[in-house]
Amino acid sequence: MIDPFATPRRKIAHAKKKIADFEGESRRFFAQHPFSFLIEPDPNEPKHEVHKLRFNQSLPDSLSNLTADAVNGLRSSLDNLGYALAVVAGKTNPRHAAFPFAGSAGEFENALSGKSKDIPKVIYPLFRAYKPYKGGNNFLWALNEIAITDKHKLLSIQLGSMLGNMEAEGGFVSMPVNPIWDSLKKEIVVSTWAIGSNVKYKADFALSVIFDEIEIVDGEPVLRVLDYFANIVEDILLGIQAESRRLGIIN
């Protein structure tokens, strides 16, 4: 028998491949050490100096592309799942079988009766349990938000930690918590010291690609979030498949 959920299953597998490609691409980018270390006067305080990592290149477009491909694949697999449910329930060429993403609980109910109305209503309780709206399952809502966001505005770089140690003589001023890459200046502030401090870094820098300006996942590592998205979507597929079988929609 033909698997009615073959297409969403294939799209999930394809998205996982893109996630693996993202991991490889980001590792290669940071392995090149695409930055230099420098010390500059603090423009806001003449007695201080700022220690920075300045990047000599931007994040590769491939990372934005792979992120968008993975997210769009996972997002569309859920729409394909809704379409498959409508077809196996007897609808011919259903036009209202989208997965009911929404901005709120109220909008979600409107989505069920509108853009998802061709999906069998016996499945609606399961959709309600997934809460694919803001204030319900916020990560599902974020998956949909990322899918409709300009992919070139998605990503930034974060300095997680220094791997090693630092020797210093002088006046320590500050060190940002989880320092973020300034995309305009292409730099990350590592620490601020009194001018004339003798600071020696015997360390490498743990850098990661993070989501930028995306509510719920802002500042979170892209790889971790994408893996979580894939797990959520796969769980939804398995749950709907099991419930469809229990209800007799599929054999």
Here the tokens at position 57 are 């290149």
Concatenated DSSP letters for 157-199?
Answer: EEEEEEEEEEEEES-EEE--SS-B-BTTTTEEEEEEEETT-EE
How far apart are the C-alpha atoms of 131 and 232, rounded to whole Å?
12
Contact status, residue 149 vs residue 141, Cβ threshold 8 Å? no
Helix (H, G, I), strand (E, B), or coil: what is residue 155? strand
pLDDT at residue number 164: 67
R_g over Cα of the chain: 23
pLDDT at 240: 96
Q: Which helix (H) or strand (E) holds 205?
A: strand 198-211
- Regions of the chain where pLDDT drops below 50: none
Q: Which residue, chain included where needed, has tokens 């990661």?
A: 208
C-alpha to C-alpha distance for 111 and 90, rounded to whole angstroms: 21
Contact 118, 97 (CB under 8 A): yes
88, 249 in Cβ contact below 8 A? yes
Percent helix, strand, coil in the chain, to 5, is 45, 25, 30
Q: For position 1, what pLDDT does the model report? A: 57
pLDDT at site 251? 81
Q: Give CA separation, 132 vs 22, 84, 107, 139, 238, in Å.
A: 26, 19, 10, 8, 16
Q: Distances in Å between the alpha carbon of 175 and those of 10, 35, 171, 180?
A: 46, 19, 12, 12
